[in-house]
Amino acid sequence: MHEYLSWMAANTPTKWCNDSADPGDLHRALDAGAVGCTTNPPLSYLAHTASPDAFAAERAALTAAGDERVAELIGIVVRPIARVLTPVYERSAGEQGYVRAQVQPGLADDADAMVAMGRLFASWAPNVMVKIPGTAAGLVALEELAAAGIPTTPTVNTTISQIVAVAEANERGIARARAAGITPARSTAAIVLGRLQDYLAAVNTERNAGVSVADLESACLALVKRAYRIFRDRGYAQALMPAAFRCARQVSELVGSDVVMTIHPSIQEIVAKADSAGAIERDPDAIEDEIDHDAVARVLSALPEFAHAYEPDALEPARFGSYGATAMTLASFDATGWQKLRTL
């Protein structure tokens, strides 16, 4: 199933992670060249409920309540994954082999609380990356964790403005870490292009704007390419992490970039089918191909909200959390993940 992704991992600079907490998914991905794992509250909930007996004893032993208990439930899922990935972490001298764990979505405006939870998550293993939302408070938390030498993944970034801001926050944290004699940690910035596409699709339907799915796919792909070129030109230490893909070509047309994709098993299957059918190319330099400028222009014309995502510096940090795609994603992670974990 993973021939294309195996080829990509072996022949290009592009790295990938398994976007699932399921052990079977992870082992299959590692066999195909994956270098890490991404979790979030919904994925942690799914891990607990898909195999209820696997974690039953540890759940029964928990004494914490409320959100503290939810954090421990996430730890029950994340710690075994960290152990599985330890050989990758050690072989790469800490460059790869991370599992990513997301702080409570409802804390997106509370920097101190996110830092405290991030420190807890980081205590589980050296190869746990703390996922912090790309909000104004998230920038503060990200810098603090980076200054402490804690690996991070700023997430729910759906705009170029956020991606630039989180990279700059990480640079400030790295400078502070070095000044304090602390070795800087790795960081990957998740740009969740599919979440932006979902938001734009909803707006498109609401307004009957007539934008095609293909144009939305192309526009969101163009946004990632723009973000990647900004990162490359500015030499940020942080690696870009394209995430939440919605079709095979959003993967294949980024191949050749020095990024760490995180790919859900459902998309892994879509990529495999497209590869088998000859619907995508094995182009090791696809990242250098031109974007579909006409599609971008059509989306910008029909959906002005896309300009807020696509244009650098279009949003101030105070507006990051309220931008439609980011707000929608945080609400979804809370409702379908964190709140459901509270019921276990």
Counting every residue, how long is the chain?
344
Give the predicted TM-score (pTM) of the model.
0.97
Q: What is the set of active-site residues?
A: 131
Q: What is the pLDDT of residue 243?
A: 98
Q: What is the pLDDT of residue 52?
A: 82
Q: What is the pLDDT of residue 80?
A: 97
Which CATH architecture does the domain made up of 3-341 adopt?
Answer: Alpha-Beta Barrel (3.20)
DSSP labels for 219-251?
HHHHHHHHHHHHHHHHT-SSEEEEE---STHHH
8 A C-beta contact, residue 103 and residue 131: yes
Q: What is the pLDDT of residue 1?
A: 77
SS (H, E, C) 146-185: HHCCCCEEEECECCHHHHHHHHHHHHHHHHHHHHCCCCCC
Q: What is the pLDDT of residue 51?
A: 85
Hey, what amino acid is at 215?
A: D
* Token reading at 151: 């690996």
Q: What is the pLDDT of residue 253?
A: 98
Per residue of the chain (344 residues), give pLDDT as tens. 799 999 999 999 999 999 999 999 999 999 999 999 999 999 999 999 998 888 999 999 999 999 999 999 999 999 999 999 999 999 999 999 999 999 999 999 999 999 999 999 999 999 999 999 999 999 999 999 999 999 999 999 999 999 999 999 999 999 999 999 999 999 999 999 999 999 999 999 999 999 999 999 999 999 999 999 999 999 999 999 999 999 999 999 999 999 999 999 999 999 999 999 999 999 999 999 999 999 999 999 999 999 999 999 999 999 999 999 999 999 999 999 999 999 99
What are the Cα distances from residue 73, in Å, to 151, 297, 309?
21, 45, 34
Phi, psi of 88 (to 5 degrees): -65, -45
